[in-house]
Amino acid sequence: MKVEALDSSVVQEPPRTRGDTTDLQRHRHFPVRTCVGCRQRVLNGELLRVVAVAGRLVVDEGRRLPGRGAWLHPTPGCLAKAERKRAFPRALRSQGALDAARLREHAAFATPTVLATEIGSGTSPDPQ
Q: Which of 48, 50, 78, 91 binds Zn ion (CB under 5 A)?
A: 78
Stretch that binds Zn ion, among 12-20, 35-43, 57-65, 90-98 (CB under 5 A): 35-43
Stretch that binds Zn ion, among 21-29, 72-80, 84-92, 102-110 (CB under 5 A): 72-80
Q: CB count, 10 Å around CB of 21?
A: 13
Nearest residue (CB) to Zn ion, 63 versus 85: 85
Nearest residue (CB) to Zn ion, 43 versus 55: 43
The answer to whether the CB of 57 falls within 8 A of the CB of 88 is yes
- Number of residues interacting with Zn ion: please give it, by CB under 5 A: 5
Q: Which of 32, 38, 108, 115 binds Zn ion (CB under 5 A)?
A: 38
The yes or no reply on residue 73 touching Zn ion (CB under 5 A) is yes
In whole angstroms, give the CA distance from residue 38 to residue 77.
Answer: 9
Stretch that binds Zn ion, among 54-62, 68-76, 85-93, 117-125 (CB under 5 A): 68-76
In whole angstroms, give the CA distance from residue 124 to residue 104.
Answer: 11
